[in-house]
Amino acid sequence: MSVDGAIVPPERLRYAMREAAEAALSGSDLTRSAAFADELDGVALLAMARILRRHGLFRHDGDRHGTQEVLDAVKAAPRHRRVVRRWLAALVREGMLTRTDDGRFSGLAAADGEALDRAAQKVREAGRALGHGPEMARFLLDAIGHLPELLRDEIALQALLFPDGTMDTADSTYRENTVSRYVNAMAAAALREAAAQWGRRGPLRILEVGAGVGGTTIDMLPALAPHAERAEDGTSRIEYLFTDVSRFFLVSGRERLGDRPWIRYRLLDVNGDMAAQGYGPGSADVIVCANVLHNARHIGRVLSGLRGLLTPGGLLVVIETGREHYQIMTSMEFLMSPGPDDPDRDFEDFRRGLDRIFLTRAEWLRELAAAGFAPTVCLPGPDGPQARLGQYVFAATAPA
């Protein structure tokens, strides 16, 4: 597929993103960063096993339980049942639980409180050694400590993520860590190139979908600010539309980003009808989606919808998780459960019935191509230490 007329040629995008990635990782020990992620996953697995045992499951050799028996024992709220099913699959995958021929489970690995405490202490030490803010480790461990209440929907994860309404914990989780700095730097580089090479009439129109706490936004704006100066006719050269499905994030985004006349705020549900929400064809030159598209009920349909919003040659920048992180299953995944009014809602694409949320790197590339995007820049590659971090940035061009 031709990329003639692209806002930024793919070769230029790849070079700029690689340069930004190298600068962001300068002085970082990726092996230790990956080891820290493994430590977090290890603690999460122990916590899953510990919760199952605390609810009277797998206490004796030979105990066998079916999925429904497990769900009943932990008293999981209907909308969080998928979380528990994913726990069972993760424990089986990691050899900590056995699935028997009749579909039941047995042989849960030991996970006493002391082992969990020792593992949690290692997480705190690893996080400090890698320069992570203490808030991130505290949040992940707080979530583990409240897993029974989270499963029963007696406490919302937001209460732990935004304690007393502050953003410190969210910032530590979304920005102040090696992985976030790395992927945000690449996204910022892509936008910087788009702004620098913009030669069409009117301002460069950037739409951020699912901006949330603005963790990626804050790191991208410095790349755009030099290009947002007023043109000779008094108009801005940049128009940035910060959107989210939640009004809470629109209000907090406006408070955090300050008074920038070239930034506007609007509601947008990526799973809704774009036109009905006031977003027309060709209304954006660049679209940014940072760790939000895995929530799309049908990935292909949403990607096709986003392509329709882009002007010919427009740019889609996507940050996504490309592997399972078990620590997400004991924390952020509670934000991904269906709503209480539709607790059994499932995905409508190839993930349906599989208790999956995240796509692999290869699946994202396949879905972007199927949605009509031109050959896509994807960093990091499938191998190497960066890939172990599990976060990828895709930069795809709409056909001209």
Dig out the tokens for 92 from the structure.
Answer: 């089986």
| 345 within some domain | no
Residue 364 near residue 289 (C-beta atoms within 8 A): no
Q: What is the pLDDT of residue 1?
A: 37
Mean per-residue pLDDT for 35-61?
Answer: 91
- CA 134, chain centre distance (Å): 20
One domain, residues 104 and 201: no
| 212 within some domain | yes
What DSSP line would sit under 210-237, residue for residue? S-TT-HHHHHHHHHHGGG-SB-TTS-BS
Mean per-residue pLDDT for 384-388?
Answer: 83
One domain, residues 367 and 219: yes
User: Number of folded domains in the chain?
Assistant: 2
Place of tokens 């949330």: 212
The closest of 298, 296, 318 to 207, measured between CA atoms, is 318
Pick from 217-221, 270-274, 380-384: least confident: 380-384
Q: What is the pLDDT of residue 2?
A: 40
Range of the domain at 183: 10-27+177-323+358-397
pLDDT tens, position by position, 118-153: 877 877 776 665 556 677 778 888 999 999 999 999
Q: What is the pLDDT of residue 4?
A: 67
Quote the DSSP letter at residue 106: E
Backbone angles phi, psi at 274, to 5 degrees: -60, -45
Q: Integer distance in angstroms from the first to the last C-alpha of the chain? A: 10
pLDDT tens, position by position, 235-268: 789 999 999 999 999 999 999 998 889 999 999 9
One domain, residues 61 and 20: no
**CATH at residue 191:** 3.40.50.150
| 346 within some domain | no
One domain, residues 21 and 141: no
pLDDT tens, position by position, 207-235: 999 999 899 999 999 999 998 876 666 67
One domain, residues 315 and 170: no
Structure-model confidence comparison of residues 87 and 164, the more confident one? 87
67-74 and 81-93 helices cross at what angle (nearest 10)? 120
| 328 within some domain | no
One domain, residues 374 and 245: yes
One domain, residues 195 and 155: no
One domain, residues 277 and 210: yes
Cα dihedral angle (56, 58, 60, 64), rounded to 10 degrees? 120
Q: pTM for the complete prediction?
A: 0.94
One domain, residues 189 and 66: no
One domain, residues 170 and 181: no
End-of-domain residue from the set 174, 208, 231: 174
